[in-house]
Amino acid sequence: MDRIRFYISLIIARAAYIAIKLRNKSSGTSFVGMMTLKICPDFLKHCQKYIKNKIATVTGTNGKSTTSGLMAHLLETANQKVIHNLEGANMLTGVANVFALNIRPYKKYDYAVIESDEAYLTKLYDCMKSDYLVVTNLFRDQLDRYGELNTTAEFIKNAIDKNPDLKLVLNADDPIVATFDRTKYAVYYGFENVEYDCSYEHKSNAPSEVFNCMCGHPLEYSKQFFAQQGHYYCSKCGYKRHKCDYPAEVKVYNDYSIINVKSHGIEFEFKVNLAGLYNAYNALAAIAFAFEIGLNQAEIQKALDTYHAIFGRTEKRTINGNPAVIQLIKNPTGASEVLKTVDLKSNIVIAINDNYADGRDVSWLWDSDFEQLKNAEKLIITSGIRANDMASRLKYAGIPQEKIIIEPNIKKAIDKATKDGKTTILPSYTALLSIKK
């Protein structure tokens, strides 16, 4: 009976998706999945048998979509068939959605690469076991939904405990992520050194978290790259950053990075065509995963050369005949790192919503380093539900009021900005969805 429900849910899912597209109501990244799970609650358990090799999951506060996108592209470039929630819908309904629209009764995939919301990872593992978990970082994010960082960390630890054979790929430079290994098989990636050769200021004034060692003493740093990412140690008990299985050095340029990674003592050089140190971390996570599953340097570099950023993650578009860069911002650390890379000669649109998926609490705007925009040469348009709050934040960041335009309607704001030269668009999550629609 359950098997019949599974096949019925597949048929209804495709019919519903076609209807949604014909009516142009939404992108359909979650509704179909929600309906599928209603019809067949064990839908994802049935989907597991359609993956021949491995299932890899990716979680963390920032970089999930880019890291999982890179991982999927690495596998596809190596001629593997991959199912991946590319659109970034990373709760159970979004994961069910991508399987419902891609699974065929007689078609199997080699790999699945699943991006998962931190709080939903344990629920995902109740439905579907995973072979690998890549964890990017843990930053303060959506306090009204996640609470403090230790709460988010517990969500992930509980999920890990549910998956007995899980292999972990962990960011050694993040002092919380590095504690997730416990009794599991784990490999670590991280940067030994970071160098900049770019036009923007690489330091940020955004506040960083202060973490205590397990003994209770505050951690100190010999190198701190951004936020809490770096080489930490405890002067009291001797605890220190984990030795990396995939240590790397990176040189960050305006629009790309050069990463030198060691794997089993051999050094490999990779060029990553994405801006910012935060994207270099995402790429290093994907490279570490690629080495773990046996891909070689040529396969990895070919994939890096042909990778295109997904919607809203350093994505380049042409709007009204002019170039535009769209980059999601959603929390203090992520926003501050993105703000470093903004072209101050471009038009700038900042679109902030406070819907549930964004987080109702917008206090993060005040912890983000919008002071990086003080030398913007053109007008800055604030938009979205919290356009006025964003304008107020820019005022206190030292940007003259006459340079700030408030236009709550996102479409009108973008139309206005993109009529003259390059535009940088910085939206929160649901504002990004509005732009896509």
Residues with a known catalytic role: 361
Write the burial class of residue 269 (CB in 10 Å: 0-12 exposed, 13-18 middle, 19+ buried).
exposed
Q: What phi-psi label fits residue 232: left (phi over 0), alpha (psi between -120 and 50 degrees) or beta?
A: beta
Distance between CA atoms of residues 144 and 359, nearest Å: 7
What is the identity of the amino acid at 243?
Answer: K
Q: What are the CB-based long-range contacts (under 8 Å, 24+) for 314-317?
A: 314/66, 314/274, 314/275, 314/276, 314/279
Distance between CA atoms of residues 32 and 100, nearest Å: 8
DSSP per-residue codes, 345-395: TSEEEEE---STTT-S--THHHHS-GGGGTT-SS-EEEESTTHHHHHHHHH
**What is the number of residues in the chain?**
437
Q: Which residues contact 278 (CB under 8 A, 6 or more apart)?
A: 62, 63, 226, 334, 337, 338
Distance between CA atoms of residues 240 and 175, nearest Å: 9
Q: Find how far residue 2's CA is from the centre of its chain.
A: 35
Helix (H) or strand (E) holding 424: strand 423-427
Tokens of 308: 């295109």
Distance between CA atoms of residues 208 and 367, nearest Å: 9
Residue 138 phi, psi (nearest 5): -135, 110
Q: Are 151 and 178 in contact (CB under 8 A)?
A: no
Q: Which residues contact 14 (CB under 8 A, 6 or more apart)?
A: 100, 101
Beta strands in 180-297 (DSSP E): 185-196, 220-226, 229-233, 246-252, 257-263, 266-272
Q: What is the DSSP letter of 259?
A: E
Tokens of 370: 């919008």
Look up tokens 């080699």; give the residue: 110
- Smallest Cα–Cα separation from 235: which of 223, 219, 212? 219
For residue 137, the cross-strand partners are: none
